[in-house]
Structure 1
Amino acid sequence: MATLTNRSIAEAVGTALLVYFGAGAAAITLMIANGTKPATPFNIGIGQLGGLGDWFAIGLTFGIVIAVVIYALGRVSGAHINPAVTIALWATKRFPAGDAVAYIIAQLIGAAVGSLLFFLTVGMDAVTIGGLGATAPFPGIGYGQAILVEAIATFVLMLAIMGTAVDKKAPAGFAGLVIGLSVTAMITSTGNIAGASLNPARTFGPYLMDFLLGGSNLWGFFPIYIIGPVAGALLAAFFYDRITAE
């Protein structure tokens, strides 16, 4: 097994890639809709911000990056790249507490670095127009509704993780594909409700960089993206153990 240092580095890098490309795709979508970037008939949503095409493109970007990280770094760290996943594996006694703390710290650092790198790549419009792809409930969606949808979507994601990556009886080689596709589906179907974070680190990175770089202060929404994903992941992990018990 790789050292905890190397595993933590893998988690940080994996989460940075997730935020750079996934949250970055959300920011670019906003910038296209605003007319910041050249538009063509092939642009996602064709100028209709929030259209299903927009969310599918964003979700597919997340899904592909997650699959890449799982296949490239999964053998090093397990490719949690999500504090909710790490907490669920710890709670079901599959992961040591000390390692879990190190992983979560690494994931949060990686998320912040990924968001910063996206800003350095794109410039200030990424903050002022794209919000660095930060998640927030959409108009008309209450706090409780946002927590609920995040919990439900993360429940599905964690079920996919349990069934394809954690369960020792799972067929080999499918985890990255199935987990990536589950994220794509959840973002496409729930993105226009609360942003479809499913991951506290994915929200933390853009929130921190938006705040530090003079963008929006969205910290009041952050509990949504802790409570919802963690609750959903815990429920899925315990549910899976219950129904597969022999």
Structure 2
Amino acid sequence: MQTHLLRRLAAELVGTALLVLFGAGSVVATLTVGGGQLGYADLGFVALAFAIVVALVVHGFGPVSGAHINPAVSISLAVTRRFPWAEVGPYVAAQLVGGFVGGLLVVAAFGTDAVDLGMGATTLASGVPYWQGIVAEALGTFILLFAVMALAVDTRAPIGWAGLMIGLAVALEILLIGPLTGGSVNPARTFGPYLTLSVFGGDVPWSQYGVYVVGPLLGGIAAVLVYDLLALTRPAERAAAEASYTAETPSAPQPPGSPGSPAPTQAPTDQD
């Protein structure tokens, strides 16, 4: 395996570990000081923690590995041929391992109390059916991949905004679907705390894990396809669309003497 790929995989592992440590870890911290309760205002601070750590990882590891830190991102980009399918498997494996390492670091920081408090694991809220959880996760991942396409993939994107806006997109989706599913939008983010709970004997809702795989994949793939279709991110597509638009749009009459207008007819003179 190439050294360059190993470095990128290491960046994905560390980046995902940081995501789980400071993201899921913020849930544990909130429950610790809140007596085991998590209100909507508390969810806002959790969303902020996720936004900050995502922004930092994107800025830090974006030039190294792309800072996917999410299997749904790697697979969605591969669908539009912006990421090689041959590297999807290694990337996803590194992200899953990173999620588990992040879970272990949460336990290292809070002790086994983190296990008792649920490790910040995402679960369906009471009364939320499986299908609704998939829809919620798909919608949340849609806005995340929309931000990725608009700020990190599209060559017309303003420079320097990707980390902040992608982080804010994560915060946004948590504020919307967090009360329903926890707002994971990331199979690795859910996998890490689940596996950590299993290792330390906690109660793990593995039967719900499909929600956090199917939903993000559906939403992510839909986002990249829709953005590609509407925004025409590839230069060749934009050039073809502009040429087609120019050909179909009638030119406005131009005043004599302007570039492209017919030469004015000269009046006869006495010398003709």
TM-score by length of 2: 0.83
**CA distance, structure 2, for counterparts of residue 54 and residue 150 of structure 1:** 20
Larger radius of gyration: 2
Give the aligned partner of residue 106 of structure 2: 118
Does residue 208 of the first structure (1) align with residue 209 of the second (2)?
Answer: no
Does residue 231 of the first structure (1) align with residue 218 of the second (2)?
Answer: yes
**CA distance, structure 1, for counterparts of residue 153 and residue 200 of structure 2:** 39
Q: Which has the higher helix share?
A: 1
User: For structure 1, which runs of at least 5 residues remain unmatched after alignment?
Assistant: 36-48
Give the aligned partner of residue 41 of structure 1: none
Write out per-residue CA displacement over residues 181-219 of structure 1, whole angstroms, 9 at most, x where no aligned residue. 111111122211111001000000000000111111211
Quote how far apart the aligned CAs of 1:33 are.
2.7
% identical equivalent positions: 47
**CA distance, structure 2, for counterparts of residue 115 and residue 195 of structure 1:** 16
Match of residue 177, structure 2, among 190, 202, 211: 190
Does residue 241 of the first structure (1) align with residue 228 of the second (2)?
Answer: yes
AA matched with 1:29? T
Question: Given that residues 143 and 224 in structure 1 are in contact (C-alpha distance below 8 angstroms), is that contact kept between their aligned partners in structure 2?
Answer: yes
Question: Given that residues 50 and 192 in structure 1 are in contact (C-alpha distance below 8 angstroms), is that contact kept between their aligned partners in structure 2?
Answer: no
**CA distance, structure 2, for counterparts of residue 20 and residue 204 of structure 1:** 13
**CA distance, structure 1, for counterparts of residue 3 and residue 82 of structure 2:** 17
Aligned residues: 232
AA matched with 2:153? V
Give the aligned partner of residue 242 of structure 2: none
- Root mean square deviation, CA, Å: 1.3
- Give the direction of change, closer, same or farther, for the CA distance of 1:168–1:2 in structure 2 (3 Å limit): farther
Give the aligned partner of residue 153 of structure 1: 140
Give the aligned partner of residue 45 of structure 1: none
**CA distance, structure 2, for counterparts of residue 189 and residue 90 of structure 1:** 27
Question: Given that residues 2 and 76 in structure 1 are in contact (C-alpha distance below 8 angstroms), is that contact kept between their aligned partners in structure 2?
Answer: no
AA matched with 2:205? L
**Structure 1 runs (4+) greater than 6 angstroms displaced:** none
TM-score by length of 1: 0.92
Match of residue 105, structure 1, among 60, 85, 93: 93
- Aligned residue for 1:88, secondary structure, equals helix
Q: Matches of residues 78-97 of structure 1 in structure 2 within 5 Å? A: 78-97=66-85
Question: Given that residues 2 and 77 in structure 1 are in contact (C-alpha distance below 8 angstroms), is that contact kept between their aligned partners in structure 2?
Answer: no
